Structures are given as C-alpha cells and as structure tokens.
Amino acid sequence: MSTDTDNKRLITILQRLGISNHEVLTAMQQVERRLFVSPDAQQHAYENIALPIAQGQTISQPYIVARMSQALMSLGPKVTKVLEIGTGSGYQAAVLSYLAQQVYTVERIYLLYKTATELLSRLYSNIHCHYDDGYRGWPEQAPFDGILITAATTEVPKPLYQQLAHNGGRLIVPLGTSAHQVLYCIERNGEIFSQQPLEEVRFVPLKPGLQ
C-alpha cells in the first residue's frame, strides 16, 4: 500500500475519533510520519499507535498529536508563535509548522535534539530547535501564543506559565503520574490561569536537566 494511501486512511481514522479542525487534518496529511520513525518501524508509520524511538522515548500516537494541535488551534487559524517542550523525533513540531508562523522546540536529550534538528532543518524553515532543559522553557523567545508539553508532569514548571501570552495564551499539557494522566488545556488571561480537562492520556515523564 502506498504512503499516500496509508496517510489518507490515517486521516479518516482521526476524523472518526473526533478530529474536526480542517487546518489540523491538513497538517497531519502533509507530514510524512515515516520520516520520523525508526527504520524497523516503517511498516507501522501510519498506524494510529505510539512507536518507540531512541533513548527510551516514543513518537506519539497520531491521534494525540492531532488532539493537542486541535486544542491549540482554537486560538485561531494561524498562530504566531508556539513553544514545544520535548522535541523527540520532531513529528509534533513538523505538524505545528503548518499551523503556526514560528515553532520553537526544546529537547533535553542531545542525541534526539541532534537527529531531529538535522531532519527538521532540511524540511522546514520555520522550526527552531534548542538543546536545553525543558523546565526552563525558552524565555528569550517568549511570549508564546501556545505551549505544548509532550511529556507528563505532576505540575507545570513555573517558567512556562510566565512565558505564555497574557491574553488567551494556551498551554496544552498531560498532568499526572505514570499511573494516571489527563491532558489539560490551560488558558492565561492576565495573571488568571483557567484549566480544562480534555481526556486521559499516557506520556513518558517530563524530566529536568540535560542528558
């Protein structure tokens, strides 16, 4: 079966699961997920499942990538600046590149950062990669219209709250422990932060420091 056919089938699955935002569905179709998975997982690239990548990490299930992106896109059809915490393979950043004018992504594991940077720099001109502690965010580029945290934490690092745009900035984050996690959308209005639960999820844990 061709890559194009596989990808169209994946988009149909995402629609059935409730992904309805046209821009998100278009972005998901534009990104070739096979480029972001390991060679031994190529045959599963367009299945709606998470897959292992290097350093004990995973490339997220396409539905979760689309769900997080859709939660962000209620900000409008074209977001100016987005920060991603946890570059991983670069797949989520690639999807965001079709939704935001500029994407900033931080990775704490050097091998993942190096591999993702090499791939993303060849494919996209609006993705900026940074090797740093995700708990720090990227204060030099703040504020951000949206922040996506692609690993689970029991509480949002305080610097990330402050890097959100004051009026309607949105932070999408899985909160919880390894036993139970819920994806939340946190919206900032001035110094008031309101949060809305979206659905139960399962992510690798967010860790501080560099590796």
Is 60 considered catalytic here? yes
Phi/psi at 196 (nearest 5 deg)? -130, 125
Angstrom distance (rounded) from CA 88 to CA 90: 5
Paired residues of 189 in beta bridges: 167, 192
Q: How far is CA 133 from CA 33, 130, 139, in A?
A: 26, 9, 12
Pair type for strands 146-149 and 79-85: parallel
Spatial contact of 82 and 102, defined as CB atoms under 8 Å apart: yes
| CB contact set of 9 (below 8 Å; sequence gap of 6+) | 46
Spatial contact of 145 and 100, defined as CB atoms under 8 Å apart: yes
The candidate with the shortest Cα–Cα distance to 27, out of 60, 62, 53, is 62
Catalytic-labelled residue, pool 20, 38, 60, 69 = 60
Show the tokens assigned to 209: 């420091």
Angstrom distance (rounded) from CA 132 to CA 85: 10
Q: Which sequence positions are flagged as catalytic?
A: 60
